[in-house]
Structure 1
Amino acid sequence: MIRTPLRPLARILRARETGENPDVIEADNLRARHEVLRDKARKRAEGRLLLLVMAFCAAFMTVGIRMAVLAGTEPEEPRASVAGKGIQAQRADIVDRNGHVLATNMVTHALYSHPRDMVDAPRAARELAKIFPEMDEEKLLKQFTSGSAFLWLKRTLSPEQVQAVHDIGEPGLLFGPREMRLYPNGKLAAHVLGGTRFGDEGVHSAEVIGVAGIEKTLDERLRDPALLDQPLQLSIDLSVQAAFAEVLHAGMKLLNAKGAAGILMDAKNGEIISMVSLPDFDPNNRPPLPVSGDPADSPLFNRAIQGVYELGSVMKAFPVAQSLELGLTNPNTMINTQGPMQLGRFRIRDFRNYGPALSVTDIMTKSSNIGTTRLIQQIGATRQQAFLKELGFLDVTGVEVSEAGRARPLVPKRWSDIHSATISYGHGLSASAIHLAAGYATLVNGGYAVQPTLLKREGPAPQMAQVISARTSDQMREILRQVVVRGSAKMAEVPGYLLGGKTGTADKQKPTGGYYKDKVMANFAGAFPMDDPRYVIIISLDEPVETSGTIARRTAGWTAVPVTGEVVRRIAPLLGLRPAEVEAPAPTAVTAVRN
């Protein structure tokens, strides 16, 4: 930077020649320099002031625009916030296959207190104990006078309880908004839905998280904010579920059983239309988990999925189907049933003496243990094990309830000849009712393995592996139909609906080993209508006893079978099935007329 000198030599010399004072020249130059600096400072200040004015104008315009936007929108209630992470309280609805609500959220209130703000703590404790009998007045008063700043009193309140607490008039009693899970149908489909509880909670909201059933398995989907307005649709039919549960409950009580399970499943795509487990519970007031005794005695225990039992003679359908599929027999092949049959140190007997030989069809209709053992000896243990695995009997089912993962079938460690024989007629392998339903669906639907599901399928069913041929499936449908027409399941016959199936009565195992002599699991597994099977039905009764006669009868033919017939009679019209043509009875001399 070049600076102009304050005392230029040329001007100083001229000033001295003319007699002028050289200091005046310096003063004039200094004044001119200051004026230039002043002008630059003024311009810089004016620029800064202009920028500041523009910033203030922009800020006021932003505030004004925001106020105009707020003034032009609908008023909205502000939401209270809590410290820490946000709490996701909402949860999607669950509906049945027809859109009827099975589970939804309801707005309610929680009750809490600020003891330091209480005016009359003794009166508050006394009045709360009157409203809520489960609360203890002395305990409440002790909590209110303990010096605590905050106390939870009750997580959910009914509208009547909110009003009653409000009428106390105590400023230290406060309400917090809540969303609670509501099951409007009470016990209906309780084991399918499972239940919920509160998770993380604050004063103004609380998480609702699944603890069992489909609520737990699909918890993330039900809590996904992007899917809250899309209900989860199940395959369950609420009307069928109600009728099924009513009949099964009546049958359980009539037959003095300690428990029961029932499944109705679409034979072609595996959709579970109804699943009942008794005794049941109300998920609105879910009981605590048992801490002692047999877990199966708890109403929380899902007998249809968690209950893993030896299934009895319903398993005979599988060696018969495999024998037909391998071409070892046909429905009319005669099999040696002379008994008792010696297998190593074990003797295998039939319920009664059926003579020296039975056809394959009659092995099923008369339920011959010896007959199915003869068939499995031809098949071999290795092929038997592989066949049962294809049918799903050696793995968990994958049904969308949390309990399904713990229901792994119990199989022998070593698949010996005697194990192979006993498994062929229903002992030595323990599985659940849902395993049985999937297996029977494969037998009657053309031979395709199905994956049971509680979710309504959209579009065609996924591609399934073919386990047996369509020809074998046709033969099995006819054989199972004969069991109802002239075999051990005659009392299940419902005119017009062509039910077919197999009975099974298995001695119940003791927890310490061995079997009870007077306790059984009675089962029926079947399908209808047998000309084109659409549904598989499973009925299981735990320790039933039919006492209408002079002797106690426990076999499935006297217990599970009549219950099955009544269930089909009730639910078939609800499923939209029209009865097939039934031959009219022969006319009699008396004609009934109605005026």
Structure 2
Amino acid sequence: MMRTPLRPLARILHARQEGLNPDTIEKENLKLRHEAIRERARGRAQFRLLILCASFVIAFGAIGARMGLMAATEPMEPRASAPGAEIIAQRADITDRNGRVLATNITTHALYAHPKVMVDPKGTAVKLAEIFPELDPAALQRRFTDGRSFVWIRKVLSPEQMQKVHEIGDPGLLFGPREMRLYPNGMLAAHILGGSSFGAEGVHSAEVIGVAGIEKAMDARLRDPAQGGKPLTLSIDLTLQSTIEEVLYAGMSMLNAKGAAAILMDARTGEILALASLPTFDPNDRPTPIVDKTAEPGDSPLFNRAVQGVYELGSTFKIFATAQAMELGLVGPETMVDANAPMQWGRHKIKEFEGKNYGPLLSVSDVIAKSSNVGTAHIALMIGPLRQQAFLKSLGFFEPTPVELIEAPGARPLIPKKWPEIVTITTSYGHGMSASPLHLAAAYAAIANGGVAIKPTLLKREGPTTGVRVMSEKTAFDSVAMLRRVVTEGTASLGDVPGYEVAGKTGTADKPKKTGGYYDDKVVNTFASVFPASNPQYVLIVTLDEPQDDTLSETRRTAGWTAVPVASEIIRRVAPLMGLRPKLEPVAVDAVTAASN
């Protein structure tokens, strides 16, 4: 930058020639220089003020726009969070197929303390123990006085308990809002729902997670924000579930059974309309698992006998042998087979119940009606081990059931490691191979629906269901006709429900000992039924663990005297609820009828 000198030589010389004072020239130039400096400074100051004003306008404009946007939106409760990660507290409801609530959320409060601001830690500990008897006042006092800044006291409070804590009046006691899971029907459908607990927890919120049953199996779906809180609709019907649990409990009590299970399934879709296991529990107050290693799994009320219970299902398996033999063209319903008992196979002797002999020959239909072990054994030998295994595998007996319960994958059927002909014989009448009542329900559904294997589900299905055909419609029709004879003429005569054409098969299986062999006085009884037989729509499985009928002078332990009457009462109660109209039998012209005025 060029700088003008304060005393230019040319002007100084000129001033001297004119007789002027040269110092005035310096003062004049100095004045001009100062004025230029002031002009530049004023320009910079004005520019800075302009920038500052623009910044204020932009900042206040953004704040005003944000405030306007917030004022225009609908008020929402902010989502609670804990340090480090967001806690998603909202969990979708669970409903039955008709929209009735099985599980929902309620708002409650947790109780915690800030000991450093407490006025009377000792007195507060004593008063809290009076409200919550499970708390130890001495231990609580130690936690209040050992230097901690935060203490959890209770994760869930009732309104009454919250009011009592309020009345203590200590400023160090604080409440945190949170959601918890509520099962409004108590014990009803407990083994289906399973239960829930708290996951990640913060002062103002807690994550609700499933711990068992469908709550855990469908946990991701129930917690998915993308679902928008849409309820999870199950296939079960609350009315049917309640009725079945009521009848099953009465039957278990009357027959002195250790436990019981029942499954009602739609044979066409695989939808489970009711699933019960006894003894049961309340998912609102889920008990702790039994840790005693000597105890049996079934001793715990948490054990789901319908899904986790893997039993030898006895003579209910006989219909699979006859159905496969008919499908292969080896026999027909009226084909005569060897039924001469006892049957000797190597060093093994195959006997009939109570040493009976239904032989020397029986039709295939009579083999099922009379529940002949020997007749079934001869039919199974015609099929052979490899074909028998393939057929049972197609019915789902070699894998866990795919039902939406977290316990289902662990309920794997017990399959013999080797499959010689003696295993073919024993498996044909339900011994030596163990499966769950749900496996049996799915297999009987394939017979009832015309020969298509379907997957059982606890979720309501929309639209038609497809599956793999495992037998022809004729084989399935003939099999149902044989099962109908079991009720009208055979071992399940107590299972007949007038108007509803019940068909089914009994199964009485001795319970195996842990040390090997079988008990003489302990059985697992099952009745597998389909109805109505003329147009099969539903499958009902009833299983009783160690039942016995002591109403007569002789103790009776067979399925015909235990599981069958219970199943009969269930069908009598639930069939009208499902809209099934009874099929009235025609009355003979010369029949005697009762009349009243």
Same fold, TM exceeding 0.5?
yes
Report the Cα offset of residue 372 of structure 1: 1.2
Deviations 1:522-558 (A, max 9, x none): 0011111111111111000000101111111101011
Residues 52 and 158 (structure 1), Cα distance of their counterparts in 2 relative to 1, 3 Å cut = same
Deviation larger for 367-376 or 219-228: 219-228
Residues 80 and 234 (structure 1), Cα distance of their counterparts in 2 relative to 1, 3 Å cut = closer
Separation of aligned partners in 2, 1:222 and 1:561: 38
Residues 589 and 423 (structure 1), Cα distance of their counterparts in 2 relative to 1, 3 Å cut = closer
Question: In structure 2, what is the equivalent of residue 314 of structure 1?
Answer: 316
Question: In structure 1, what is the equivalent of residue 366 of structure 2?
Answer: 362
Alignment of 1:252 with 2:255, yes or no, is: no
Separation of aligned partners in 2, 1:333 and 1:430: 29
Report the Cα offset of residue 138 of structure 1: 3.3
Alignment of 1:199 with 2:176, yes or no, is: no
Report the Cα offset of residue 2 of structure 1: 7.5
Residues 124 and 585 (structure 1), Cα distance of their counterparts in 2 relative to 1, 3 Å cut = farther
Separation of aligned partners in 2, 1:55 and 1:165: 52
Alignment of 1:173 with 2:173, yes or no, is: yes
Deviation larger for 13-22 or 381-390: 13-22
Separation of aligned partners in 2, 1:70 and 1:5: 64
Report how many residues are paired.
593
Identify which of 509, 514, 517 aligns with 2:512. 509
Question: In structure 1, what is the equivalent of residue 301 of structure 2?
Answer: 299
Separation of aligned partners in 2, 1:200 and 1:580: 56
Alignment of structure 1 residues 520-559 onto 2, 5 Å: 520-559=523-562
Separation of aligned partners in 1, 2:96 and 2:30: 96
SS in structure 2 of the partner of residue 431 of structure 1: coil
Separation of aligned partners in 1, 2:243 and 2:414: 32
Question: In structure 1, what is the equivalent of residue 210 of structure 2?
Answer: 210
Amino acid at match of 2:509: A
Report the Cα offset of residue 17 of structure 1: 8.6
Report the Cα offset of residue 415 of structure 1: 1.0
Question: In structure 1, what is the equivalent of residue 584 of structure 2?
Answer: 581
Question: In structure 2, what is the equivalent of residue 448 of structure 1?
Answer: 452
Alignment of structure 1 residues 321-332 onto 2, 5 Å: 321-332=323-334
Residues 321 and 205 (structure 1), Cα distance of their counterparts in 2 relative to 1, 3 Å cut = same
Alignment of 1:130 with 2:130, yes or no, is: yes
Amino acid at match of 1:109: H
Alignment of structure 1 residues 456-467 onto 2, 5 Å: 456-461=460-465, 463-467=466-470
Separation of aligned partners in 2, 1:575 and 1:52: 78
Separation of aligned partners in 1, 2:3 and 2:147: 80
Separation of aligned partners in 2, 1:295 and 1:405: 16
Identify which of 403, 409, 413 aligns with 1:405. 409
Alignment of 1:290 with 2:293, yes or no, is: no
Amino acid at match of 2:541: I
Task: State whether residues 222 and 228 of structure 1, in contact with CA within 8 Å, keep that contact through their aligned partners in structure 2.
Answer: no
Amino acid at match of 2:198: F
Task: State whether residues 262 and 537 of structure 1, in contact with CA within 8 Å, keep that contact through their aligned partners in structure 2.
Answer: yes
TM-score by length of structure 1 reads 0.94
Separation of aligned partners in 2, 1:389 and 1:372: 19
Separation of aligned partners in 1, 2:3 and 2:103: 89
Identify which of 480, 485, 503 aligns with 2:483. 480
Task: State whether residues 191 and 276 of structure 1, in contact with CA within 8 Å, keep that contact through their aligned partners in structure 2.
Answer: yes
Amino acid at match of 2:555: A
Task: State whether residues 80 and 86 of structure 2, in contact with CA within 8 Å, keep that contact through their aligned partners in structure 1.
Answer: no
Task: State whether residues 256 and 547 of structure 2, in contact with CA within 8 Å, keep that contact through their aligned partners in structure 1.
Answer: yes
Report the Cα offset of residue 202 of structure 1: 1.4
Report the Cα offset of residue 295 of structure 1: 1.5
Deviations 1:496-515 (A, max 9, x none): 11111100001101122211
Separation of aligned partners in 2, 1:567 and 1:154: 43
Separation of aligned partners in 1, 2:160 and 2:587: 60
* Structure 2 portions without partners, runs of 5+: none
Separation of aligned partners in 2, 1:117 and 1:176: 17
Task: State whether residues 91 and 228 of structure 1, in contact with CA within 8 Å, keep that contact through their aligned partners in structure 2.
Answer: no
Report the Cα offset of residue 123 of structure 1: 3.1
- Percent identical among aligned pairs is 60
Report the Cα offset of residue 318 of structure 1: 0.5
Task: State whether residues 90 and 228 of structure 1, in contact with CA within 8 Å, keep that contact through their aligned partners in structure 2.
Answer: no
Question: In structure 2, what is the equivalent of residue 47 of structure 1?
Answer: 47
TM-score by length of structure 2 reads 0.93
Separation of aligned partners in 1, 2:12 and 2:395: 120
Question: What's the C-alpha RMSD, in Å, of the aligned pairs?
Answer: 2.4
* Structure 1 portions without partners, runs of 5+: none
Question: In structure 2, what is the equivalent of residue 86 of structure 1?
Answer: 86
Report the Cα offset of residue 155 of structure 1: 1.2
Separation of aligned partners in 1, 2:386 and 2:507: 24
Deviations 1:201-239 (A, max 9, x none): 111111111110000011111111222420000001000
SS in structure 1 of the partner of residue 317 of structure 2: helix
Identify which of 404, 417, 427 aligns with 2:421. 417
Report the Cα offset of residue 471 of structure 1: 1.2
Residues 366 and 171 (structure 1), Cα distance of their counterparts in 2 relative to 1, 3 Å cut = same
Residues 71 and 320 (structure 1), Cα distance of their counterparts in 2 relative to 1, 3 Å cut = closer
Amino acid at match of 1:339: A
Task: State whether residues 508 and 516 of structure 1, in contact with CA within 8 Å, keep that contact through their aligned partners in structure 2.
Answer: yes
Report the Cα offset of residue 148 of structure 1: 2.9
Residues 232 and 81 (structure 1), Cα distance of their counterparts in 2 relative to 1, 3 Å cut = closer
Report the Cα offset of residue 255 of structure 1: 0.6
Identify which of 336, 343, 364 aligns with 1:334. 336
Deviation larger for 370-379 or 140-149: 140-149
Question: In structure 2, what is the equivalent of residue 377 of structure 1?
Answer: 381
Separation of aligned partners in 2, 1:80 and 1:274: 37
Large movers: runs of 4+ above 6 Å: 1-31, 585-590
